[in-house]
Amino acid sequence: MTHEKIILAVITMNGGRVAGGAPIFICQTKEEMEQIAANLEAILDGIAHEVAEGLLIIVKH
Amino acid sequence: MNEYTFPILYGVAAGVLTRLYLLRTDYRQYPTYLHGRTIHIALGAIAAGLGTVAVPAIMEKEFAAITFLALAASQFRDVRNMERNTLNELDQYELVPRGKTYIEGIAIVFEGRNYLVIFVSFLSTLAYLVWNVWAALLASMVGLIVARRFMSGSRLKDIADVQYVKPHFEGAGLYVDNIYIMNIGLPARREEILRYGMGFILTPKNFNARTTIANLGQRQAILHDVSTALGIYRDSGTPALVPLAKRDLNDGRVGIFILPQVEDVEKAKAVIENVPVLESAIRMPGKRRWKRKGGSGDDA
């Protein structure tokens, strides 16, 4: 099965709000989140999207 | 040497010249180099030969010989396949792909132009044999003008108004005017996008145009052309920096978001206005006749 779009990683400051299949990175600060998201974006060739305040996902399009 | 030698030579020459004339390398950079061109000139020469020889064949009552024109048709259908395959392969390595609709459009044009060459050669040789070389020259000119008319389709400015709008963010959402383009999570990316990005709004001039510019292939063609002409602030591994075109569902306007390397709004606007309207994207819902329901004629 192939996926058109897939969540590769979740970066959040609130670990209690997310669960599920994708790797979850729990951070303390917004800066830390942004840094991890920027690295993951470059490594995974995906786009960092802001789903809600303090919740970023990396999506492969 | 016989009475047909000069007319045939003339017809072939006229055809090949027509092909050369139609084979301009322009901003689309295709076909680029000598080899790509050689293929098309060679095929143009074959087309010219076929068109030319048809005339003496008819005059000599060799009607069976005309059937080889059918051979020509299948030959040139292969040209279309060849172009389609080549461009599809190359498209995978473009930073901003042409898209299948654009490729199909180019392929159709390559096939069509060979038929135009046959047409010009046929007319030229016919005029030469029936009248004289001057009539042949005139026929070639007329053929060339007709070919030119066929060659140029309409441009985007004929069907839509283009207007520059600076893109902006609302939260993580990137907008061109009120059209949502995409969600960008990282502030650093947002800064880059605001710095290099440009937004344009295409307002369709009528209902037919609305459907045409909604076509995904047409939109991709716009993005490709702008990116080719003005460069693109993008690399592999930066998927967030991607030019996109999205549609306002309410009124059919299309928001174009681009990241050109040449930051010249006027140039970008001119390039967008001159993007060809793709044959395969043209829709004419307004041409549907509503007479059955009591209306009359077009409703566009």
Contacts of B184 in chain A (CB under 8 A): 47-50
Residue B31: asked if its preceding bond is cis (omega within 30°), the reply is: yes
- In-domain check, residue B26: yes
What is the ipTM score, two decimals?
0.85
Residue in B with minimal Cα distance to A44: B237
Virtual torsion, Cα B191, B244, B239, B259, nearest 10 deg: -50
Mean pLDDT check: name the lowest of A32-46, B57-71, B247-261. B57-71
- In-domain check, residue B294: no
Residue in A with minimal Cα distance to B171: A50
Sheet-wide strand order for A55-60:
A24-26, A6-12, A55-60, A47-52
Residue of B234, B228, B191 whose CA lies nearest to B90: B228
Q: Does B240 sit within 8 Å of A41, measured CB to CB?
A: yes
Size of chain A in residues: 61
Q: Within B172-264, where are the H helices?
A: 187-196, 207-214, 216-230
Q: Is A32 on the interface with B (CB under 8 A)?
A: no
The CA angle B155-B117-B67, to the nearest 5 degrees, is 130
- In-domain check, residue B298: no
C-alpha to C-alpha distance for B46 and B135, rounded to whole angstroms: 23
- In-domain check, residue B295: no
Mean pLDDT check: name the lowest of B134-138, B212-216, B235-239, B284-288. B284-288
Q: What is the DSSP code (8-state) at residue B155?
A: B
Mean pLDDT, range B271-282, rounded to an integer: 88
Mutate to test the interface with A, among B180, B183, B186 (most CBs of A within 10 A): B186
Identify whether residues B49 and B131 lie together within a single domain: yes
C-alpha to C-alpha distance for B275 and B224, rounded to whole angstroms: 10
Mean pLDDT, range B99-128, rounded to an integer: 90
Query: Which residues, 6 or more positions from B263, have their beta carbon under 8 angstroms from its beta carbon?
Result: B196, B198
Identify whether residues B135 and B161 lie together within a single domain: no
The helix, strand and coil proportions of chain B, stated in percent and rounded to the nearest 5, come to: 60, 10, 30
Contacts of B174 in chain A (CB under 8 A): none
3-state secondary structure B77-138: HHHHHHHHHHHHHHHCCCCCCCCHHHHHHHHHHHHHHHHHHHHHHHHHHHHHHHCCHHHHHH
Identify whether residues B122 and B164 lie together within a single domain: no
- In-domain check, residue B60: yes
Band of pLDDT at residue B300, cut at 50, 70 and 90: very low
Query: Which residues, 6 or more positions from B176, have their beta carbon under 8 angstroms from its beta carbon?
Result: B165, B167, B199, B200, B201, B246, B255, B256, B257
- Report the pLDDT value the prediction gives residue A2, as an integer from 0 to 100: 61
- pLDDT for B149 beyond 90: no
Identify whether residues B25 and B140 lie together within a single domain: yes
Identify whether residues B167 and B131 lie together within a single domain: no
- What is the domain range of residue B195? 157-286
Q: What's the structural domain count of chain B?
A: 2
Q: Is A3 on the interface with B (CB under 8 A)?
A: no
Q: Shortest CB distance from B183 goes to which of A45, A46, A49?
A: A49
Contacts of A6 in chain B (CB under 8 A): none
Identify whether residues B11 and B142 lie together within a single domain: yes
- In-domain check, residue B296: no
Identify whether residues B209 and B258 lie together within a single domain: yes
Residue in B with minimal Cα distance to A38: B186
- Residue B114: both structure tokens together: 């060979």
Q: Does B240 sit within 8 Å of A48, measured CB to CB?
A: yes
Identify whether residues B133 and B163 lie together within a single domain: no
- Report the pLDDT value the prediction gives residue B109, as an integer from 0 to 100: 83
Residue in B with minimal Cα distance to A49: B185
Global confidence as pTM: 0.84
Virtual torsion, Cα B40, B43, B49, B52, nearest 10 deg: -60
Mean pLDDT check: name the lowest of B69-78, B84-93, B155-164, B269-278. B69-78
- In-domain check, residue B297: no
Q: Of B137, B152, B167, which residue is a domain's last?
A: B152
Q: Of B118, B152, B186, which residue is a domain's last?
A: B152
Identify whether residues B59 and B99 lie together within a single domain: yes
Q: Does B187 sit within 8 Å of A49, measured CB to CB?
A: no
Q: Is A55 on the interface with B (CB under 8 A)?
A: no
Tens of pLDDT along A2-54?
667 888 999 999 888 888 888 999 999 989 999 999 999 888 888 999 988 88
Query: Which residues, 6 or more positions from B290, have their beta carbon under 8 angstroms from its beta carbon?
Result: B296, B299
Contact B80, B110 (CB under 8 A): yes
Tens of pLDDT along B20-33?
888 875 555 566 66
Give the containing element (helix H, strand E) for A26: strand A24-26
Band of pLDDT at residue B215, cut at 50, 70 and 90: very high
Mutate to test the interface with B, among A31, A41, A43 (most CBs of B within 10 A): A41
Q: Is A42 on the interface with B (CB under 8 A)?
A: yes
Smallest Cα distance from B244 to chain A, Å? 13
C-alpha to C-alpha distance for B257 and B274, rounded to whole angstroms: 17
Q: Does B237 sit within 8 Å of A42, measured CB to CB?
A: yes
Q: Shortest CB distance from A45 goes to which of B171, B189, B239?
A: B239
Mean pLDDT, range B117-138, rounded to an integer: 92
Q: Of B95, B125, B152, which residue is a domain's last?
A: B152
Q: Identify residues of B whose CB sits under 8 angstroms from chain A CBs.
A: 171-172, 182-189, 236-240
Band of pLDDT at residue B154, cut at 50, 70 and 90: confident
C-alpha to C-alpha distance for B254 and B245, rounded to whole angstroms: 7
Which amino acid, one-letter code, is at B39? I
**% of chain B residues with pLDDT over 90:** 46
- In-domain check, residue B248: yes
- Report the pLDDT value the prediction gives residue B291, as an integer from 0 to 100: 54
